[in-house]
A = this chain, B = another copy of it.
Amino acid sequence: MLRMAEEIKIVEQESIQVKSPNVVIGLPDVGLVGLIATMHMIETLKMKLVGYIESRLFPPVIVLHNGEIQSPIKIYAKDKNIAIVSEIPIPSNAIYELTDALIKHIKDWKPAQVILLHGIPVPNRLNLEEVKTYAIGTDDETKKIISDNKIEHMDTGVIVGLKAIFLWESIKQDIPTIALGAESFLEYPDPGAAASVVEALNKFLHLDLDVEALLNRAEELRVRMRDLMRRTQESMRGTQPVRELELPPMFG
């Protein structure tokens, strides 16, 4: 059923006035690379929470940071940089709608570039001394930026999920977008991969985000992320659709 409730709302609590900003997007997919890397950027730069995204297409989740109640999908800004980060996986039935909403909203910002951070699943991750970083550009301009920064272009491959549609729409709607990914574990939070992504991000945005710091926090992050996700998952239990309503395991 199509309901108002199912719309996606992007709210700027403080209207964003930056001219041609850099927009970084991090979602918790493969290895949680995008989430970890973007979080690190936000924390290191002490970016300011300026907005959030909400929709009833998302699971009923809120998060707490420093005692503040927040949407799990937030917008941060500082100087010329804007970061959009999600702490919950995007449900497949919201991917197209959320992409449309993001594209429409970001377009109004007239971004210098949009950078999607993500992980590239590789089976042999465990054996990799160092992980490779690859970038995808949606137009000549972004491709030149990638080359100038000596990041390897992703030549062949498959991109799936929101970032796939985002890249596709970027081309169609003339948004200069770069997908920046590093080889990563599929099923484990991968701060190492995130570090490589941050390293590349530093070049693109002329930043100096401390990669060492991220690596030193790797173990802590791994635990924190696992925990974040475990809590979410655990808390999700017991809210089944009514047609298949079943009571929590305890009552079995």
Contact = CB atoms under 8 A, between A and B. Distances in A.
Contacts of A238: 28-30, 89, 161
Contacts of A121: 231, 234-235
Given A168-B71, A251-B229, A156 B66 contact: yes
Contacts of A226: 250-251
Interface centre among A61, A72, A160, A246 (most CB of B within 10 A): A160
Interface in A223-244: 226, 228-244
A28 B245 CA distance: 14
- Identify which of A59, A66, A143, A228 gathers the most chain B CB atoms within 10 Å of its CB: A59
Contact of A158 (B28, B29, B61, B168): B61
Contacts of A247: 89, 229-230, 232-233, 236
A243 B64 contact: no
The size bracket of the interface on A is: 35 or more
A155 interface: yes
A155 B67 contact: yes
A231 to B, nearest CB: 5
A236 B245 CA distance: 8
Interface in A166-181: 167-168, 171
Contact of A154 (B67, B156, B157, B239): B67
B240 A155 contact: no
Nearest to A164: B62
Contacts of A58: 242
7 contacts: A30-B234, A59-B160, A66-B155, A67-B153, A67-B155, A89-B238, A226-B251
Interface of A: 1-3, 5, 28-30, 54, 56-67, 69, 71-72, 87, 89-96, 99, 121, 123, 136, 138, 143, 153-162, 164-165, 167-168, 171, 186-189, 226, 228-252
